[in-house]
């Protein structure tokens, strides 16, 4: 059994039967729990890590996303991450403001256009 989690701009793959996420990353969660059932899934492991970006707001996230999109072209940048999160239905309280700030700074109508603008130079 294996699962993936994005953390700090990188992809971490953890084989649950060998290592825990905490051993691989060296991070210590502020809390963790095992839930017996959730939405039909027999075992759910959840961990909460303290924020590694401060201050955590749309402006800072947009800056980091745009910077990473200039530096990376392999889909691990912040704009691609936000696009993937939206496609998967993952929404956080900062998702909307984060997206709007990227679009404002890039002067584009969509995240796809922002990414294309960066890629095309």
Task: Render pLDDT for 69-97 as a digit per residue (tens, 0 to 9).
Answer: 999 999 889 999 999 999 988 888 899 99
Residue 12 — very low, low, confident or very high, per pLDDT cuts 50/70/90?
Answer: very low
Whole-structure pTM over 0.85, yes or no? no
What CA–CA distances, in Å, run from 63 to 51, 59, 99?
A: 16, 6, 11
> Rg of the chain over CA atoms, in angstroms?
16
pLDDT of 120: 93
């Amino acid at each position: 059994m294996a699962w993936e989690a994005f953390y700090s701009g990188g992809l971490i793959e953890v084989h649950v039967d060998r290592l825990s996420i905490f051993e691989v990353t060296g991070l210590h969660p502020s809390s963790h729990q095992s839930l017996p059932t959730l939405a039909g899934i027999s075992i759910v492991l959840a961990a909460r890590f303290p924020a590694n970006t401060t201050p955590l707001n749309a402006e800072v996230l947009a800056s980091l996303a745009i910077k990473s999109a200039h530096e990376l072209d392999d889909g691990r940048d912040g704009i691609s991450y936000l696009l993937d999160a939206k496609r998967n239905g993952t929404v956080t309280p900062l998702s909307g403001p984060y997206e709007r700030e990227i679009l404002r700074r890039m002067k584009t109508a969509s995240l796809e256009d922002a990414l294309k603008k960066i890629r095309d130079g």
